Amino acid sequence: MGKLFIRVIRRDLLLAYRRRADVLTTLFFFVIVVSLFPLGVGPEMKTLRLIAPGVVWVAALLASMLSLQRLFAADYQDGTLEQMLLAPHPLGVIVLGKIVAHWMVSGLPLALMAPLLGLQFDLPPEALGILFIALLLGTPILSLIGAVGAALTLGLRGGGVLLSLLVLPLYIPALIFGAGAVEAYIAGVSPEGHLSLLAALLIFSGLATPWITALALRIAME
């Protein structure tokens, strides 16, 4: 089981490496969206500090929307997904492997990039650390919940827009606690509560969503 899990991750990482441009596109989308806000709101550092956590988080949600469609689309088109469904291995494990690989190429780069973007918003160094930890805990949630939406909308016309309609409302708890952690720190309160809730969400969605996604994939491929 563990071997299968590692194999799937390695395969998807290799595939992602072969198409590096896709990964970079998502990352730069994230950078551009975050950088647009100061231009729209104005360069007042006091305002920017206030909105920074929310802006970074909303940009992360949007960037994750962009990359989600790629989660199953290529495997669906070339028939690999069908083979995975037929394979005598638990589909949930395969799906979890794919989600983890997807997070490593879409969520993790965002989390690594976020402290740098936080500097644009004049966040204090400790707040940058909290932002990083919050994104590290939160972006896997986005990949996990997003996988359900990606499986449900697999192969549908207008799938991308529909996907965001389905998934963005479900992202809201992660957004609230993720941005809330940084805001709490800036306000002088301990961010521990927010981060704990975020971790709880991560564990809960990590346990439930791979199996729900597997079910959704079976329905989509019927």
Partner 1 sequence: MALNIFKYSSPASFYPLAGKMVPVFYGLAAVFTIVGLYISFFVAPTDATQGEAYRIIFIHVPAAWMSMFIYIVMAIWAGLGLVLNTRLSSMMAQALAPTGAMFTFVALITGAFWGKPTWGTWWEWDARMTSELILLFLYIGYMSLTAAIDDVRRADKAGAILAMVGGINVPIIYFSVKWWNTLHQGASVSLTSSPSMAKTMLLGMLIMAIAAWMYSIAVALSRVRLLMLEREKSSAWVQEILEQKS
State the angle between helix axes of 125-152 and 91-120 in degrees (0 to 180), rounded to the nearest 10.
Answer: 140
Query: Which listed range, 11-19, 93-101, 150-158, 182-190, lies at the site for partner 1 (CB under 8 A)?
Result: 150-158
Does the footprint of partner 1 cover residue 212 (CB under 8 A)?
yes
- Pick one of 24, 41, 116, 172: the residue that binds partner 1 (CB under 8 A): 172
Cβ 134 vs Cβ 178: under 8 Å: yes
Element containing residue 220 per DSSP (H, E): helix 192-221
118 versus 180: smaller Cβ distance to partner 1: 180
When the beta carbons of 129 and 173 are compared against partner 1, the nearer one is 173
Distance of alpha carbon 125 from alpha carbon 34, whole angstroms = 18
Closest CA to 76 of 168, 153, 3, 160: 153
What is the token pair recorded at 103?
């997070």
Residue 174 C-beta: closest distance to partner 1, Å: 13
Which residue, 113 or 154, has its beta carbon nearer to partner 1? 154
CB of 107: closest distance to partner 1 in angstroms? Answer: 20
Residue showing tokens 């291995």: 89
**What single DSSP character describes residue 89?**
S
As measured in angstroms, the least distance from the Cβ of 156 to partner 1 is: 5
Shortest distance (Å) from residue 36 CB to partner 1:
23
Stretch that binds partner 1, among 80-88, 90-98, 147-155, 185-193 (CB under 8 A): 147-155
Query: Would you count residue 153 as binding partner 1 (CB under 8 A)?
Result: yes
Burial letters for 90-105: b for 16+ Cβ neighbours within 10 Å, e otherwise? ebbbbbbbbbbbbbbb
Does 195 participate in binding partner 1 (rule CB under 8 A)? no
How far, in Å, CA of 53 to CA of 132, rounded? 10
- Per CB under 8 A, the list member of 110, 134, 152, 195 interacting with partner 1 is 152
With binding defined as CB under 8 A, does residue 162 bind partner 1? yes
Give CA–CA dist 110/191, Å, rounded: 20
Residues that bind partner 1 (CB under 8 A): 148, 152-153, 156-158, 162, 165-166, 168-170, 172-173, 212, 215-216, 219-220, 222
